[in-house]
Every structure is written in C-alpha cells, then in structure tokens.
C-alpha cells in the first residue's frame, strides 16, 4: 500500500512536471511553426523569468510582482526576436540558429555576471506551495494546480488560434510565409505576437517550475528548455496539442524513471526518446508530413 501511494505521488509529480514542460514547449513549437527556427534562447528566457521573480519579489508584494514578471519576460522575448532574429530573416536558416545559440550564451553569461553566479532561492508563493494530503498521498497544491492551469491556458490558446482573425493570420503565416505576406498580413506583427505568447507561457511555466524547485541558477534554463523542445518534436513540431501531449509523456516517464532509481538516466531518456521518434516517425505524433521539393 505504501508502495502504491509512492507511485501515485510520483505520477502526480510527473503530470505536474509535464505541465511545466508543456508551457515551455508551446513557445518552441509556435516559433518553429512560423519561423522554422529552434529558439535555443527560449530556455534562457524561462531562466530569466525566474530571476525577474527573485528580484521583483524582494521589494514588491506578490500581486504586483507576478504581473510585472510576466510583462518583463514578454518584453525580453520580443526584444530578443527584434534584435537577434529579425535582421536575419532573409539569411540561411543555419545563421538564425547560430544567432539563437549566441543569444542563449549572452543571456547565461549576463545572468552569471548580474547574480554573481550564485544560486538564488525563489520566493515562496503562499497557498500554492502548501502541502495537502489526500488519503495516503501527500502532495502540494502546485502539483495539482499545474496541469489544470496548463490545460486551461492551452485550451484558451487553441481557441485563440482557431477562432480569431489573428489566429487565422498565424496559421496562414505558418503555412506559407510569402503568400501570407502578399495577402496583406503583417508578418512582423504576427511573429511578435508569437513571441509574446511563447514568452508569456514560459513566464507562467517558470513560476510553476520554481515554486516546486526553488533554486534559480543562470544555467538552469538549458535542460528544461531542451526537454520541452523534445516534447515539441515528439508531438509533431508546429502542433500545439502535440507539444502538450509530448510534454506530459516526457514529464511522466521521467518521474517513473526517477522513481525506479535511475536518476542519472532521466535526462538521457528524453534524448533516447527523441532519436527513436525521429527514426520511427520524424513528423511526430500530430505533425504534418512534408515532402521535399526540388
């Protein structure tokens, strides 16, 4: 019985971690859908959101600092796009990817410089970090709240993309960049909106993530970032429901592996999964097949 509740607890943690990955993965998948770019800096934007919270909550009450953090994260995400990706729009894809790696390098180095490289402890947000006990299972509110919040945000986002004019424009841009431009869609605005949504969700994800693992480090963004990217590939890059499903699968599997005592391999598992997916079904679970044209 004890064993069972242990596994249920791990499963719940997995679902919660999956929800956090999902929020990050959406940023990857949307940017990839539109720009065909792996935004390597996305994980570092997630890290920056963590530091914003550390500094904002030091002097401001929570009901101001949380919106402020989200706003700053969005501004950071959009400025990265404007400064580092926009000038390279006509360049080969490899150049933009290198630019993304450069931004990631810059953000990490800047965070190390600004914070002195020391780990900072994340502020506790009351209520959601409280512990609750259901039957024999002990968990915190955050574990239960994360998947619910994630699903709510995702449903909202899918509705936005499906039913609004802006969403239609986004779909058009991701289908065909040039034609969409000819149809009078302002590409740059759409790209900015994509980055706004992606960074906003990364900000929410960071609040949930760091409430659970309350240490912020300059290099902490890399691993969740890569895992979220794998989730996006697993679900079929460009597809939002795919990214969410992929993120939950990865989150749950990772925690099962940890529960079985193979913690060293919990990170490696993600990449094994990636390579397997790419061999068996390169377009992912929900991805569209693309044919190569000469």
Partner 1 sequence: MAKDNEKIIQQNMLKPDGLNPKVKYSIAAVLLALLLLGIWWLEQILPPSSIIFTVLKKGAIYSLIAVSLNLLNGFTGLFSLGQAGFMLIGAYTYAVLTIPPESRAAVYMYYDGGIIDFALPVPVAMLLAGCLAGLCGFLIGLPVLRLKSDYLAIATLGFAEIIRAIVQYDKLGPITNASNLLRSFPVFRSTLFPFIVAGLCIAVICLLINSSYGRAFKAIRDDEIAAEAMGINLFAHKEMALVTSAFFAGIGGALLAMFQMMVQARAFTSAMTYEILLIVVIGGIGSITGSIIASFLFIACSEWWLRFLDEVQIINGFQLPFMRSGFRMVVFSIIIMFVVLFYRKGIMGTKEFSIDGIYKFFRRLFTGEGKKPKEQKGGGAA
Contacting residues toward partner 1, per CB under 8 A: 32, 36-38, 83-84, 87-88, 91, 93-95, 97-99, 101-106, 108-110, 112-114, 116-117, 219, 222, 226, 229-230, 233, 264-265, 267-268, 270-272, 274-275, 278-279, 282, 292, 294
Contacts of 206 by beta carbon, 8 Å cutoff, 6+ apart: 46, 47, 49, 50, 53, 73
Tokens 């080969």, residue located: 92
Between 20 and 270, whose beta carbon lies closer to partner 1? Answer: 270
Toward partner 1, which CB reaches closer, 48 or 169? 48
- Nearest approach, Cβ of 131 to partner 1 (angstroms)? 31
- E-state strands within the chain: 120-121, 131-134, 137-140, 215-216
The beta-strand segments (E) located in 33-171 are 120-121, 131-134, 137-140
What's the min distance (Å) between Cβ of 116 and partner 1? 7
From residue 4, alpha-carbon distances to 15, 49, 140 in Å are 16, 36, 18
Nearest residue (CB) to partner 1, 26 versus 125: 26
Around Cβ 45, how many Cβ atoms within 10 Å?
A: 27
Give the other-Cβ count within 10 Å of 196's Cβ.
16
The least distance separating partner 1 from the CB of residue 277, rounded to whole angstroms, comes to: 10
Least distance from partner 1 to the Cβ atom of residue 24, Å: 15
CA dist 167 → 181, 194, 207, 243 (Å): 15, 10, 26, 18
Please say which residue, 66 or 257, places its beta carbon nearer to partner 1. Answer: 257
CB of 132 or CB of 268, closer to partner 1: 268
CB of 104 to partner 1, least distance (A): 7
């Amino acid at each position: 019985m004890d064993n069972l509740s242990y596994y249920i607890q791990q499963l719940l943690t997995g679902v919660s971690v999956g929800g956090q990955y999902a929020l990050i993965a959406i940023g990857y998948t949307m940017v990839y859908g539109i720009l065909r770019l792996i935004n390597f800096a996305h994980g570092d934007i997630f890290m920056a959101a963590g530091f914003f919270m550390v500094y904002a909550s030091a002097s401001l009450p929570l009901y101001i600092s949380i919106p402020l953090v989200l706003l700053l994260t969005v501004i950071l995400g959009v400025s990265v796009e404007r400064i580092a990706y926009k000038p390279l729009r006509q360049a080969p894809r490899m150049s933009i990817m290198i630019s993304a790696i450069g931004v990631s390098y810059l953000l990490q180095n800047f965070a190390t410089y600004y914070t002195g490289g020391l780990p900072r402890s994340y502020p506790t947000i009351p209520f959601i970090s409280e512990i609750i006990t259901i039957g024999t299972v002990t968990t915190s509110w955050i574990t239960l709240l994360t998947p619910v919040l994630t699903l709510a945000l995702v449903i909202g986002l899918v509705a936005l993309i499906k039913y609004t004019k802006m969403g239609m424009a986004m779909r058009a841009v991701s289908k065909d960049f040039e034609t969409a431009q000819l149809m009078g869609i302002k590409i740059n605005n759409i790209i900015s909106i994509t980055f706004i949504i992606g960074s906003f969700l990364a900000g929410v994800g960071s609040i949930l993530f760091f409430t659970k693992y309350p240490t912020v480090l300059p290099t902490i963004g890399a691993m969740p970032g890569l895992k979220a990217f794998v989730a996006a590939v697993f679900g079929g890059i460009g597809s939002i429901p795919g990214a969410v499903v992929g993120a939950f699968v990865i989150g749950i599997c990772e925690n099962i592996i940890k529960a079985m005592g193979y913690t060293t391999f919990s990170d490696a598992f993600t990449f094994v999964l990636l390579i397997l997916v790419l061999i068996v079904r390169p377009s992912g679970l929900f991805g569209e097949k693309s044919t190569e044209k000469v």
